[in-house]
Chains A and B, each alone.
Chain A
Amino acid sequence: DQQVKQNSPSLSVQEGRISILNCDYTNSMFDYFLWYKKYPAEGPTFLISISSIKDKNEDGRFTVFLNKSAKHLSLHIVPSQPGDSAVYFCAASPLSYNKLIFGAGTRLAVHP
């Protein structure tokens, strides 16, 4: 039973445009939502997170939006750069236990 779903396995965006990566979850007990970025031959690296008491968190070019009623979050990258090309994982965890439940990832390609 997939509790965290990333329905788009891949996304292609032109440099300078906005990239929007989506994630849906089913468990209303999740308290934290995170995005990790993974380059080939490297481990996932933390990008940005949001707690369930917020609906938006921003860090430079990266913004995460949380819609609790829809059980949906999204990552916006503006403007997209070729160096952003990577696999992006959405993950969620409850407050009590730092167990990350991951989505299967979305491969983002930013082309010139």
Chain B
Amino acid sequence: DAMVIQNPRYQVTQFGKPVTLSCSQTLNHNVMYWYQQKSSQAPKLLFHYYDKDFNNEADTPDNFQSRRPNTSFCFLDIRSPGLGDAAMYLCATSRDRQGGETQYFGPGTRLLVL
């Protein structure tokens, strides 16, 4: 089955220690997104890639970066995690990026910062 895979499912890191979350897709979609969801809150878009074109949301902290080395993989790097960065991180894909395109989500990575 075509799908969006996120690894690891749970990640524990220390305050200030860089961490990388991984997402891969077998859908061959052009667009990959990263969302942050804090407890009982709405998922919030951090950035997206349209092919190799990176698009950052205006309110995404500089602490968050992303890489997309090829169509299938996308990484979320948190350079210096703070306690406030503990959240569920959701990766999603879509075929194209105009409004109305269905986004397909992975199961998420829950990040805990100690």
Contacts and interface: CB of A to CB of B under 8 A. Distances in A.
A36 B37 CA distance: 14
Contacts of A31: 99-100
Interface of B: 4, 6, 31, 40-45, 48, 57, 90, 92, 94, 96-108
Interface string A18-52: 00000000000001101010000111111001010
Chain A: interface secondary structure? Answer: loop
A98 B96 CA distance: 8
Interface footprint category on A: 20 to 34
Contact of B108 (A43, A45, A99): A43
Interface of A: 2, 4, 9, 31-32, 34, 36, 41-46, 49, 51, 89, 93-105
3 closest A-B pairs (Cβ-Cβ)?
A43-B105, A102-B42, A32-B100
